[in-house]
Structures are given as C-alpha cells and as structure tokens.
Amino acid sequence: MEKNQICKDFGTVRERPGCTENFYNEKRERGKEMLEELKDIICEYVEVDRNAISEDSRFVEDLGFTSYDFMSMVGELEETFDIEVEEREAAEIVTVGQAAAYIESLQ
C-alpha cells in the first residue's frame, strides 16, 4: 500500500504520527495548484490582472463576468478537470474559492 493511501485511511493515522500532517499538506498544495490553474482559465474569459484574483474574488462583481462568460468557463472547467458540473450548483458559485472547492469535491 502506498504512503498516500495509508494517510487517507484515517484508521491507520495513529500508527503513523506524521501522516495526518502530510495528508493536509498535500491537500493544501493541490488546492494552490487548482487556484493557479483556475486563475489562468479566468484570464481567458475576462480582462483582469491575474495577480488581482484571489479566493475571495467574486466572478460577477469583482472580475466582470457576464452569465454567458461564466457558463462558457464552466464548460471549459468540465473539459479541463474531467468533471460534470450541475447547472443548478454552478449558479450558486459566487467566488473563485467556491469554484475551486467545488471542482475539488468532484475529483
């Protein structure tokens, strides 16, 4: 069994003291990578300084997305991350951080 598989099995965490920390560090790193990739995709749809995009940035109010831009981007996210986004759930996403968390939940 790989180290990562053991770390994800919380029943064995007690047997490996550093395991929990490694699991959360890996998850945090994946989250950073997801945010960076999401920023690249966002910049394809709206003219905004990439460095100005944060997890708290709102798609419509802060980044200037129209509903058409947003749904087009959702289609690209589906292809890029090999996920299927429910239209009803996509409509509830307001911030970049919410989008990243939603994508991660589907992977």
Confidence class of residue 31 from pLDDT cuts 50, 70 and 90?
A: low
Question: What is the distance between the alpha carbons of residues 67 and 4, in angstroms, rounded to a whole number?
Answer: 39
Average of per-residue pLDDT across 45-49 = 95
Residue 41 tokens read as 């995709």
Whether the per-residue pLDDT at 15 is higher than 80: the answer is no
- pLDDT value for 5: 45
For 26, 35, 59, 81, 102, the CA distances from 42, given in Å and listed in that order, are: 24, 10, 9, 14, 16
pLDDT (0 to 100) of residue 14: 47
Pick from 5-14, 23-32, 57-66, 85-94 the range whose average pLDDT is largest.
57-66
- Structure confidence at residue 107 (pLDDT): 80
Helices (H), 1-107: 3-8, 19-45, 67-81, 87-90, 96-106
